[in-house]
Amino acid sequence: MNMTTSSDAPSAGRKAWLGLLTVLALVLLVAMDGSVLYLAMPRVTSSILPTVDQALWMLDIYGFVVGSLLITFGNIGDRYGRLKLIMAGAVVFGLGSLGVAYSTTPGGMIAFRALMGLGGATLLPSGLAIVSALFPDPRQRAQAIGIFAATFAAGFAIGPIIGGALLQRFEWGVVFLINVPVVVAFLIAAPILLREVRSPAYGRIDVPSLLLSFAGILLLTYAIKRAAAVGFSPQPSIAGVAGLFALAIFLHRQTKIAFPLMDLSLFKDRIFSMAILTGLLSLVVWSAASYLSGIYLQSVLGFEVFTAALLSLPGAVVLTATCVGTSRIVERIGRKPALVATHFLIGVGVFLLLFTTTEVGVVPFIASTMMAGVGYGLSFSLVAEIAVSAVPTERAGAAGSMAETSNEIGNALGITLLGSLAALNFRLFGPGVAGTLNETLDHPGITADTVLQAKEAFLSGLHLAVGVGGLLTLLAGIVTWLWLPRKLPE
């Protein structure tokens, strides 16, 4: 086997490091947008008055579009060039950001968030491939990829602070307008500092698979959201059945075509399967807990948006530090214990949110985000590495794409499944004035008893959602410990 050692490969110069900074600017935007929107949702819902299912769509349509297209755009980038694709994606991402910033209706915001997702689907996988190509020296490449992952994690720390400061002084749309100058600067610098990356080993893109996966995910999501918002009825039930049918056909088709979008044979390896499950589940819990906690801090405890952002900072800093230090943690305890610890830290961390009340909750919230933040940091750093190392070298690209996809789908599923569970609880046990807590609190002439009932109903929904999420992660940790071999491949 021909291996390039650190001494054989040339060291990267200043241009490569400047190119890395150029890509990191986009990575930071993608991470910040996720945390900023969770923080801004109370202001958004009060401004454009979405229904409960529209509010959930605003949050997760981006993740579903990205997750549905990630592998496809990976193939397109291999064929036509990663740099061309990421530049086109940056333009679409910027246009979507402009549209979201000036949206005045829920439908418009959902559509432009979807457009941002279309652009965002090009950014992470193409950006990572371009960064890897900038650094031929393996040691420098590992360092650059570590910085790439840490930047993504740091975006969650910076996003609430910047967003909170802006939201105190300006309308909510400004948090999306800041994307535009960064995109413009990237489009100017990228052709100078970055080089094109292609792969000679590509297959044709199976359009039916793309359509089936996209339609299946969206139809099933629509059915879950409608059921949580208004109860079961014929239209969402039919959509749900159609979504399941489309996904079943999609999965069957992947086993029959020469160039599948999803290589299901990889799941025969139990290490790969558990790595993907870890990436999916950690983001399911993270997205739901972040979304519901943001509303809790502002609408239940009554904190200003910037104060809520500052309260989120300790957990985000811990997450970032863990992401940077994961390699040292793994050296000390090993890959399998680190993967098991990921589940248990997240599970116990979110369980701490069960100690929140309608009057007191700052200490449990900070403790929860810090403990769970260690688990999230381990997951962000470990999942792709373990998934790729578990498969043959020639299938590493497919494994990496599926690891990225599991994160994006998990991010969206958290809002859809656990967020809808909390919404259903509010519909059943709330005062019945409106479908969401913020709509209820904004209702004219509302009494103090109704406000208390609405807050208690929301809080019980939060407890239900994080309880289910925490239990799932603890069960996954037990399965990981019992099912995986003692030593995982390096």
pLDDT value at position 6?
43
pTM beyond 0.75, yes or no = yes
Q: How confident is the model at residue 5 (pLDDT cuts 50, 70, 90)?
A: very low
The predicted model gives 8-27 an average pLDDT of 82
For residue 299, the 8-state DSSP code is I
Q: Does 24 have pLDDT greater than 60?
A: yes
Q: Are 92 and 58 in contact (CB under 8 A)?
A: no
The predicted model gives 428-441 an average pLDDT of 84
The predicted model gives 165-175 an average pLDDT of 83
- How many C-beta neighbours within 10 Å does residue 191 have? 11
Q: pLDDT digits over 400-421, tens only?
A: 667 777 776 787 678 778 988 9
Q: pLDDT digits over 28-46, tens only?
A: 887 777 667 767 788 888 8
Token look-up 């698979």 returns 209
Q: pLDDT digits over 188-203, tens only?
A: 999 999 888 766 555 6
- Rounded to whole angstroms, how far apart are CA atoms 457 and 322? 35
- How many C-beta neighbours within 10 Å does residue 303 have? 16
- Rounded to whole angstroms, how far apart are CA atoms 345 and 46? 35
Q: Does 119 have pLDDT greater than 50?
A: yes
